[in-house]
Chain A
């Protein structure tokens, strides 16, 4: 029993516990949240939710966010990146379809479908906060 108490009080173990249940969940979550597009509300939401999770549960809860970050966040980020630029030699005809009801991203952003001069369309996502200032909508 004494050995067990001594082992528990050993500083490397204590340090490891502090890291696992203290700083590590915050750090790992910050990295995971980077997978979501910049203005995605999930970034703020998960960061705020972490405070509601009991400290001993935090490492497990953060691990649970990994699949969400990979399959939801990273997928959205890739989609935003691949559809953001218009193909070379084309220009916008100024015809935009802005979809807020079934936006694939969130209620804080809108999906924009833009008709280009060569007849093709490009789709991208604009955060509501940037709707008035996004240069792609002013072309």
Chain B
């Protein structure tokens, strides 16, 4: 869901783990699997564009295939009654966040 909040944007590991609430120890292997499946592409920040003195970070971007697959996974989860309360809670959270 954190990836689909900004489907065309660049995502960073720590940022993703914060937004999704997934521990980074779990998140990075998941990202690797998504890269292998072709759901994501990755790249490194251009060091020339960095304003602060820090190493370039690795970013992830959703591919068209990834957007479709993740969308369908989310659709299935929405239809699943086990996740109904979760989505309603997340909906309230996102609405509060958007305000």
Binding site for B on A (CB under 8 A): 41-42, 44-49, 51-53, 61, 64-68, 72, 101-104, 106-107
Residue of A nearest to B55 (CB): A48
Residue of A nearest to B45 (CB): A48
Number of A-B pairs, beta carbon distance below 8 Å: 55
Q: Of the candidates B23, B29, B57, which one forms a contact with A49 in the assembled complex, judged by CB atoms under 8 Å apart?
A: B57
Pair A67/B25 contact, Cβ less than 8 Å? yes
Taking A45-B13, A106-B35 as contacts, is the C-beta distance between A51 and B25 under 8 angstroms?
no
Pair A68/B29 contact, Cβ less than 8 Å? yes
User: Residue B36 at the A interface, CB < 8 A?
Assistant: yes
Residue of B nearest to A72 (CB): B29
Binding site for A on B (CB under 8 A): 12-15, 23-25, 28-29, 32, 35-36, 38, 42, 44, 54-58
Interfacial chain B residues near A41, Cβ < 8 Å: 42, 58
Provide a sorted-by-A list of 29 A–B residue pairs whose CB atoms are within 8 angstroms: A41-B42, A41-B58, A44-B44, A45-B13, A46-B13, A46-B28, A47-B55, A48-B54, A48-B56, A48-B58, A49-B12, A49-B14, A49-B58, A52-B12, A52-B15, A52-B57, A53-B14, A61-B24, A64-B23, A66-B25, A67-B25, A68-B24, A68-B28, A68-B29, A72-B28, A72-B29, A72-B32, A103-B36, A107-B42
Interface centre among A42, A48, A103, A104 (most CB of B within 10 A): A48
Interfacial chain B residues near A72, Cβ < 8 Å: 28-29, 32
Residue of B nearest to A106 (CB): B32
Residue of B nearest to A104 (CB): B36
Pair A51/B55 contact, Cβ less than 8 Å? yes
